[in-house]
């Protein structure tokens, strides 16, 4: 047995070493799921499998990257670079670029992001002369996406009386028409949206037996992470690919399924049993992440779900502190308390900023938190929200790049045809679109051959259009000869975009210009990093198309408090977790509450949130929250009642909002014992917190410079200096083990050594 296998427990070991045949690993939170996946892949490679023959599908690109690095370390070779590993979207877009011709695409196809696809749907609705209040873009977009994820194409839709009836009732009879037109327009633009990447992959494997055969042979071993969050099309793809060898290993946790809105389907777990009757199941139930209090708390919550696979998550870890549940007046106070507690823990427990994460249900909640953190000078980073590449100015420049890689890209063209202004306004664009639709060609085709398409435009406009075409063509000619940065810089400057933004001296304008600079810097890094073969703009665009903010981490972001939605926190872990906004209609969300499935998913989401915590967990809710421009009263979340009270501690609220010099530390908890013990602290300096509630403050009177002391964590040390008074009394101590530290004495629990 090789050395690296010794680092696994028995169930992990079994899951890693069972290489052949279909298998499912049910892995509780913190049970070493990623470990199993990485070691399993490493073990496959070590056992002689060619990395080229392994397909590993992960939930995020970041996870794939980290796993690849870890595998490389274990197998001690660069073999891991040959793995096909990444998200469904990135792996299959790679496959689609190779096989594009088969499905009548070209390999330079554009990937439309949500904004592109929204814009396209909007213009289709407008062109069709439909009422935009009945045909709401967002709704249509979601419906199209959901149909695609369930492998219902426009023709399937038209053949489904059920679906037709739904839209008939909603008076959206033109939906099928929109759906069809949307698909056609994407195709004509040589573009795929996120869902198309999956849909077309399945289409490719389904319609072309030779392609299927090729990849079935190639992927002798298939691994799927977060299997509980795969959707129907993803399921179909995996099933196809695995059909020949049946060496498929899926890993997941039904209790952590939180993406049903994206088409994720627990049914896939049940289907697995039908498709591979002789499959093996492995359960990873020992939690290595959290204290036993946190594990027990999470277990007490999830038992309220009816639908789940039986398993018992347990831990050998120490008991730890109880979870604190905190009632607050409003969202601002909630933010303030979170910020204060983080600040205090940062100091008291010598924690790094990056050890903290604040999790919330909706992105909108980040605002109050941000304000509080900023006031306390706590360095933080928000994940989610508007991604860098989604910013208008960035998208505008990228549209030029997209045009020179794929000039058929309609959404890119619409963005830049009159940016910067060149006298080609809406009227001209409308004429172009009508002509293009009529002849079933791309807009670019029309612009490139104006005389052929008999447009009713005047000579001046025709001249401007041909100038525009010449400009784009001049970029296209250069695209294969120049590296990404040189070309990008040239486009930015010669198109006039660069100077347009440069001359805008408003606050927003300056910020936009900075973003453009940042984009160019990013491209520069890319050009320098990649080899000469791969440093073209085309490769850069492929690289960024499927990136999320999480993949885009900057160096200086590494030690910051993290703010994100619970969805974004999936798969992550932090020593200190704050879950905020535990209120009815917010968490559980209003949208999800009316059906059992929805509510159970919200509960799983809360389960995910709780189980992110390693050491300490804080839950809070507000009595009032600023919503839609006014304060709304809130009720505590039903989930709080479901938690077993043995593992929580209610923090008493002192509604001191109106008091002058009110110190929020007092709010977090003021237990009765605390009041007694803290008598010697003058009132105005009383700084007490819940996290500290049952700690007796050190008698600081006897401490003086030169004394030898002992600290519970840092060991023996010598006091170098004492400063501050009363509760703020601090000592600089030199510890033999860890060096010099400044400690606030009331927290430090120092013992005097003789």
Partner DNA sequence: AACAACGGGCTTTTT
Partner DNA sequence: GCCCGTTGTT
Lookup result for tokens 């890094």:
525
Q: Which of 46, 94, 97, 136 binds DNA (CB under 7 A)?
A: 136
Specify which residues 23 forms β-bridges with: 249, 280
Rounded to a whole number of angstroms, the distance between the first and last alpha carbons of the chain is: 51
Q: Which of 373, 546, 731, 750 binds DNA (CB under 7 A)?
A: 546
Q: Which of 193, 195, 225, 393 is catalytic?
A: 225
**Of the listed pieces 268-276, 342-350, 415-423, 688-696, which binds DNA according to CB under 7 A?**
415-423
Rounded Cα distance, 15 and 249, in Å: 9
Contact predicate 696/744, CB 8 Å: no
Residue whose CB is less far from DNA, 146 or 716: 146
616 CB contacts (<8 Å, ≥6 apart)?
320, 321, 323, 345, 575, 576, 577, 691
Residue whose CB is less far from DNA, 42 or 111: 111
Residue 256 a catalytic site member:
yes
Residue 612 a catalytic site member:
yes
**Of the listed pieces 41-49, 152-160, 211-219, 255-263, which binds DNA according to CB under 7 A?**
255-263
CB of 567 to DNA, least distance (A): 4
DSSP classification of residue 322: P
Residue whose CB is less far from DNA, 616 or 625: 625
Q: Is 87 in the site for DNA (CB under 7 A)?
A: yes
Q: Which of 81, 132, 675, 742 binds DNA (CB under 7 A)?
A: 132
Q: Is 261 in the site for DNA (CB under 7 A)?
A: yes
Residue whose CB is less far from DNA, 481 or 628: 628
Site for DNA in 354-413 (CB under 7 A): 361-364, 384
Residue 18 falls in which region: left (phi positive, over 0), alpha (psi -120 to 50) or beta: beta
Q: Is 550 in the site for DNA (CB under 7 A)?
A: yes
Nearest to residue 353, comparing CAs of 376, 380, 383? 380
Q: Is 592 in the site for DNA (CB under 7 A)?
A: yes
Question: What is the distance of C-alpha 146 from the center of its chain?
Answer: 20
168 CB contacts (<8 Å, ≥6 apart)?
none
Residue 286 a catalytic site member:
no
Rounded Cα distance, 280 and 269, in Å: 13
Q: Is 103 in the site for DNA (CB under 7 A)?
A: no
Specify which residues 381 forms β-bridges with: 562
CB of 108 to DNA, least distance (A): 20
For residue 459, give both structure tokens: 């000579």
How far, in Å, are 582, 641, 656, 664 from residue 624 at the CA level?
12, 19, 15, 17
Q: CB-based burial of residue 662 (10 Å sphere; 0-12 exposed, 13-18 middle, 19+ buried)?
A: middle
CB of 629 to DNA, least distance (A): 2
Q: Which of 226, 344, 409, 600 is catalytic?
A: 226
Q: Is 632 in the site for DNA (CB under 7 A)?
A: no
Q: Is 431 in the site for DNA (CB under 7 A)?
A: no
Q: Which of 565, 611, 648, 698 binds DNA (CB under 7 A)?
A: 565
Residue 225 a catalytic site member:
yes
CB of 78 to DNA, least distance (A): 25
CB of 384 to DNA, least distance (A): 4
Q: Which of 426, 454, 594, 754 binds DNA (CB under 7 A)?
A: 426
Tell me: cis bond preceding 420? Omega within 30 of 0 counts: yes
511 CB contacts (<8 Å, ≥6 apart)?
none
Largest interatomic CA distance in the chain: 99
Rounded Cα distance, 754 and 745, in Å: 19
Nearest to residue 296, comparing CAs of 271, 325, 321? 321
Nearest to residue 183, comparing CAs of 82, 104, 67? 104
DSSP classification of residue 583: B
Residue whose CB is less far from DNA, 294 or 546: 546
Q: Is 114 in the site for DNA (CB under 7 A)?
A: yes
CB of 268 to DNA, least distance (A): 16
Please state, as a whole number, how many other Cβ atoms lie within 10 Å of the Cβ of residue 254: 17
Angle between helices 137-149 and 175-188 (to 10 degrees): 80
Q: Which of 188, 612, 616, 746 is catalytic?
A: 612
Q: Which of 256, 286, 542, 666 is catalytic?
A: 256
To 10 degrees, the CA torsion angle through 739, 740, 742, 743?
40
Q: Which of 14, 34, 184, 308 is catalytic?
A: 34
Residue whose CB is less far from DNA, 62 or 322: 62
For residue 20, give both structure tokens: 């052949």
CB of 260 to DNA, least distance (A): 8
Give the contact letters, 598-627, x = binds to DNA (CB under 7 A), - = no: x----------------------------x
**Of the listed pieces 39-47, 88-96, 177-185, 487-495, which binds DNA according to CB under 7 A?**
88-96
Nearest to residue 84, comparing CAs of 43, 52, 46, 47? 52
**Of the listed pieces 54-62, 95-103, 396-404, 485-493, which binds DNA according to CB under 7 A?**
54-62
Residue 33 a catalytic site member:
yes
Tell me: cis bond preceding 634? Omega within 30 of 0 counts: no
Q: Which of 10, 318, 377, 421 binds DNA (CB under 7 A)?
A: 421
Q: Is 144 in the site for DNA (CB under 7 A)?
A: no
Residue 615 a catalytic site member:
no
Q: Is 418 in the site for DNA (CB under 7 A)?
A: yes
204 CB contacts (<8 Å, ≥6 apart)?
95, 96, 99, 102, 103, 211
Q: Is 138 in the site for DNA (CB under 7 A)?
A: yes
Q: Is 89 in the site for DNA (CB under 7 A)?
A: yes
Site for DNA in 654-713 (CB under 7 A): none
Rounded Cα distance, 61 and 79, in Å: 19
Q: Is 179 in the site for DNA (CB under 7 A)?
A: no
CB of 262 to DNA, least distance (A): 5
3-state helix, strand, coil in the chain (%, to 5): 55, 15, 30
Question: What is the distance of C-alpha 559 from the center of its chain?
Answer: 19
Q: Is 591 in the site for DNA (CB under 7 A)?
A: yes
Site for DNA in 436-475 (CB under 7 A): none
CB of 232 to DNA, least distance (A): 13
CB of 559 to DNA, least distance (A): 22
Q: Is 548 in the site for DNA (CB under 7 A)?
A: yes
Q: Is 629 in the site for DNA (CB under 7 A)?
A: yes
Q: Is 90 in the site for DNA (CB under 7 A)?
A: yes
Q: The sheet that has 23-27: what strands, in order across it?
A: 84-87, 54-58, 221-224, 248-252, 23-27, 280-284
Q: CB-based burial of residue 212 (10 Å sphere; 0-12 exposed, 13-18 middle, 19+ buried)?
A: middle
Q: Is 256 in the site for DNA (CB under 7 A)?
A: no
Q: Is 596 in the site for DNA (CB under 7 A)?
A: no
CB of 120 to DNA, least distance (A): 12
The count of residues interacting with DNA (CB under 7 A) is 46
- Hey, which residues are catalytic here? 33-34, 225-226, 256, 612
Which residues of the shown chain bind DNA in the complex (CB under 7 A)?
59-61, 87-90, 114, 122, 132-133, 136, 138, 145, 194-195, 258, 261-262, 361-364, 384, 418, 421, 423-427, 546, 548, 550, 564-565, 567-568, 589-592, 598, 627-629
């Amino acid at each position: 047995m090789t050395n690296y296998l010794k680092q696994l427990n028995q169930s992990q070991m079994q899951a890693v070493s069972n290489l052949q045949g279909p298998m499912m690993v049910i892995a509780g939170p913190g049970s070493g799921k990623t470990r199993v996946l990485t070691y399993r892949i490493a073990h496959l490679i070590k056992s002689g499998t060619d990395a080229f023959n392994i397909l590993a599908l992960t939930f995020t690109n970041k996870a794939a990257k980290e796993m690849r690095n870890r595998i490389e370390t274990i197998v001690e070779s660069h073999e891991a670079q040959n793995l096909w590993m990444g998200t469904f979207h990135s792996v299959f877009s790679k496959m689609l670029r190779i096989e594009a011709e088969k499905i009548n695409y070209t390999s330079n196809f554009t990937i439309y992001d949500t904004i592109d696809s929204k814009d396209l749907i909007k213009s289709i609705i407008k062109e069709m002369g439909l009422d935009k209040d009945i045909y709401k873009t967002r709704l249509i977009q979601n419906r199209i996406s959901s149909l695609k994820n369930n492998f219902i194409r426009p023709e399937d839709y038209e053949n489904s009386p059920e679906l037709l009836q739904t839209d008939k009732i909603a008076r959206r009879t033109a939906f099928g028409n929109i759906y069809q037109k949307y698909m056609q327009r994407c195709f004509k633009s040589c573009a795929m949206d996120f869902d198309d990447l999956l849909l077309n992959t399945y289409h490719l494997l389904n319609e072309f037996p030779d392609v299927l055969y090729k990849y079935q042979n190639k992927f002798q071993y298939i691994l799927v992470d977060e299997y509980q969050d795969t959707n129907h099309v993803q399921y179909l793809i995996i099933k196809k690919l695995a059909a020949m060898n049946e060496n498929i290993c899926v890993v997941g946790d039904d209790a952590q399924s939180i993406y049903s809105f994206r088409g994720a389907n627990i049914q896939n777990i049940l289907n697995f049993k039908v498709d591979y009757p002789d499959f093996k199941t492995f359960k990873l139930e020992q939690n290595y992440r959290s204290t036993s209090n946190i594990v027990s708390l999470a277990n007490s919550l999830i038992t309220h779900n009816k639908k789940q696979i039986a398993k018992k998550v347990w831990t050998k870890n120490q008991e730890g502190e109880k979870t604190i549940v905190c009632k607050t007046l409003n969202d601002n106070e909630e933010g303030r308390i979170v910020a204060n507690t983080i600040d205090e823990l940062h100091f008291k427990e010598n924690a790094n900023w990056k050890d903290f994460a604040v999790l919330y249900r909706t992105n909108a909640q980040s605002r109050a938190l941000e304000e509080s953190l900023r006031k306390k000078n706590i360095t933080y980073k928000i994940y989610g929200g508007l991604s860098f590449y989604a910013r208008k100015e960035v998208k505008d420049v990228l549209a030029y790049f997209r045009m020179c890689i794929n000039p058929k890209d309609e959404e890119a063209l619409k963005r830049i045809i009159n940016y910067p202004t060149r006298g080609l306004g809406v009227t001209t664009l409308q004429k172009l679109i009508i002509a293009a639709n009529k002849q079933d060609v791309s807009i670019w085709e029309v612009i490139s051959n104006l005389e052929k398409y008999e447009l009713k435009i005047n000579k001046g406009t025709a001249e401007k259009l041909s100038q525009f075409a010449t400009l784009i063509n001049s970029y296209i000619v250069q695209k294969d000869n120049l590296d990404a940065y040189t070309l990008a810089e040239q486009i930015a400057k010669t198109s006039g975009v660069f100077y347009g933004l440069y001359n805008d001296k408003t606050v927003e304008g300056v910020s936009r210009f900075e973003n453009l600079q940042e984009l160019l810097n990013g491209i520069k890094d890319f050009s320098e990093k990649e080899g000469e073969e791969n440093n073209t703009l085309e490769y850069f665009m492929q690289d960024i198309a499927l990136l999320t903010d999480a993949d885009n981490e900057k160096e200086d972001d590494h030690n910051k408090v993290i703010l994100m939605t619970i969805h974004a926190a999936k798969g992550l872990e932090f020593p200190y977790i704050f879950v905020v906004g535990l209120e009815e209609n917010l968490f559980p969300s209003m949208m999800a509450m009316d059906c059992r499935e929805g509510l159970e998913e919200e509960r799983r989401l809360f389960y995910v949130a709780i189980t992110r915590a390693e050491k300490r967990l804080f839950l809070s809710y507000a009595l009032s929250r600023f919503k839609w421009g006014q304060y709304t009263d809130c009720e505590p979340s039903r989930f709080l009642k479901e938690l077993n009270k043995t593992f929580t501690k209610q923090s008493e609220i002192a509604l001191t909002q109106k008091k002058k010099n009110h110190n929020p530390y007092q709010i977090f908890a003021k237990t009765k014992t605390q009041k007694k013990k803290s008598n010697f602290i003058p009132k105005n300096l009383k700084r007490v917190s819940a996290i500290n509630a049952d700690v007796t403050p050190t008698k600081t009177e006897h401490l003086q410079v030169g004394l030898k002391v002992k600290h519970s964590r840092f060991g023996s040390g010598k006091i170098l200096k004492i400063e501050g008074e009363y509760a703020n009394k601090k000592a600089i101590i030199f510890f033999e083990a860890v060096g010099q530290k400044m400690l606030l004495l009331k927290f430090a629990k120092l013992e005097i050594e003789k």
